[in-house]
Structure 1
């Protein structure tokens, strides 16, 4: 019996070594993913890889392999936590708080009654709907009555969208519809300047370049906009170097800071999923609250952001 244990342990160690080597890819992609879109895909799994590296370090036993995997796991964990650390920006008070909801409803979702119920639970002031088709848009007539302001560009593909508001808007404009990648820019009479977008998933060279062009364009446009909020399904996580470039070039802050990972896709995986839906805020605003809601029949969980004017003494 003792003799039978040794081959089992050796097999487990061999599998752990293979898994550990594979888990190094997200750590490499965290630093170098901007060099190639295929490598960048691995960066989104940095939290999962960090946990796997810790497990591998325990399984492989003593020696340099254990030390190496343990060190890599610690580095991955530090990189995972860094964008989630609390921000120093504090709200000036409860006055002027605005709640926004971003929801990728999923273009094959047949139940718009459930979508409206999910939205009603959070009672937002402003709603961004993504992957919205013309049929779904027509089925949202009850919601549209309660939120009479806004604009929409539904499409029979993953890039249709709409913004609905119960607060008066100074303007609501759809841009980029000629390219099939609409972006909605909505300005409240009093409050933030919202940009809602759905970046293409980087699953091919063309889609990756389209995502890069879209994010680069809006990072430049929002660089001097302290009132700006950028929300939507960016098909990015905080561990992507492309995401860090977006924050750096735009000057916006990640609303997730201090709020947790808040995984949004795929909804069925819960906390084990990826935070692909994002909310970025300009320096005029502080995050009072950020949470994810129930997905219903969508593959994304909605992201609910509450912002308030930033305290004047906040850095």
Structure 2
């Protein structure tokens, strides 16, 4: 009798959770009406897990009505599954050399620098961008890195500090032409690193960014302004290949991010490589979401992409290996 009661309560709780996931699924499409609804656009993999569990348990106990949960499940999967599908274009006629880039959010609250420095020392990258760089972090990096050197930095005690690292022995086929700190939009207090490289026989312009976190209606609106400014920046690079990498504080299936991709004419390097969640790094992977991204011009192909080790930050590192088409 007691066991039956526990099972009944468990089924009820699961169906209540599935109902909540269904409501959140629908409200997530209404992000244009409220910043809070826009937040509901992000945990779609978690909605899927809840809905699948409800369908399976309902099937076991022959609750035919539980298959209603397949409707919101399909809506969520329609947005997520394209990340597992490779681009339609065939990867051919690629031009050497490859360009390997790593993006790392250090987390200014992370006081243990050992994990991050050990991770950096094991990497074979042409370019490394760091976010949330404080003066303390910068001092430890300068003192302990042996394979990379800091070429551009703007440490800050809030979450806005940035830095760019290059290998001590860089590739001879890739050359840095210019690097500067910019702001998008121009009145933003968030520094972005823009660097131009000679890559093969053409130039590529790379932008490292960290967009504001949408915590309320004001910050959510400003994130949209930032995305519009970055999209305009991308379109202004029409004479060069462009790469944008960093913490977008947005998932790839969200309406806001998909609209940005369309407007900027950039491709998501994550396409064909699956979810690769990056935040919150301290949680089990099934509770995390991907908010750190690398986007690039259509003339560029992603050969490899992944997330790095947990370095004590709330974000996992992201690394990409890119090549250009001839």
Paired position in structure 2 for 1:208: 220
Paired position in structure 1 for 2:196: 187
Q: Is contact 1:149–1:164 with CA below 8 Å preserved after alignment?
A: yes
Q: Is contact 2:28–2:37 with CA below 8 Å preserved after alignment?
A: no
TM-score under structure 2 length normalisation = 0.86
CA distance in 1 between partners of 2:292 and 2:27 (Å) = 20
Which residues in structure 2 correspond to 1:96-245 (within 5 Å)? 96-142=97-143, 146-148=147-149, 150-166=151-167, 167=170, 168-176=175-183, 179-190=188-199, 192-225=204-237, 227-245=241-259
After TM superposition, the structure 1 stretch with the greater mean CA deviation from structure 2, 30-39 or 156-165, is: 30-39
Q: Note closer, same or farther for the CA distance 1:26–1:143 as it changes in structure 2 (3 Å cut).
A: farther
Tell me, yes or no, if structure 1 residue 252 matches structure 2 residue 266: yes
TM-score under structure 1 length normalisation = 0.89
CA distance in 2 between partners of 1:300 and 1:141 (Å) = 22
CA distance in 1 between partners of 2:88 and 2:301 (Å) = 9
Q: Over the residues paired in the alignment, what is the CA RMSD in angstroms? A: 2.3
Q: How many residues align?
A: 309
Q: Is contact 1:84–1:261 with CA below 8 Å preserved after alignment?
A: yes
Q: Is contact 1:91–1:287 with CA below 8 Å preserved after alignment?
A: no
Paired position in structure 2 for 1:81: 81
Richer in helix (by share): 1
SS in structure 2 opposite 1:275? coil
Q: Is contact 1:106–1:158 with CA below 8 Å preserved after alignment?
A: yes
- Please list the CA deviations of residues 41-73 of structure 1 after superposition, one character each: whole Å capped at 9, or x if unmatched: 111110110121121123345566313112222
CA distance in 1 between partners of 2:144 and 2:101 (Å) = 15
Q: Is contact 2:150–2:163 with CA below 8 Å preserved after alignment?
A: no
Richer in strand (by share): 2
Q: Is contact 1:149–1:169 with CA below 8 Å preserved after alignment?
A: no
CA distance in 2 between partners of 1:16 and 1:297 (Å) = 33
- Please list the CA deviations of residues 260-287 of structure 1 after superposition, one character each: whole Å capped at 9, or x if unmatched: 2111111122532111111111112100
CA distance in 1 between partners of 2:117 and 2:52 (Å) = 42
Give ranges in structure 2 of 5+ residues lacking alignment. none
Give ranges in structure 1 of 5+ residues lacking alignment. none
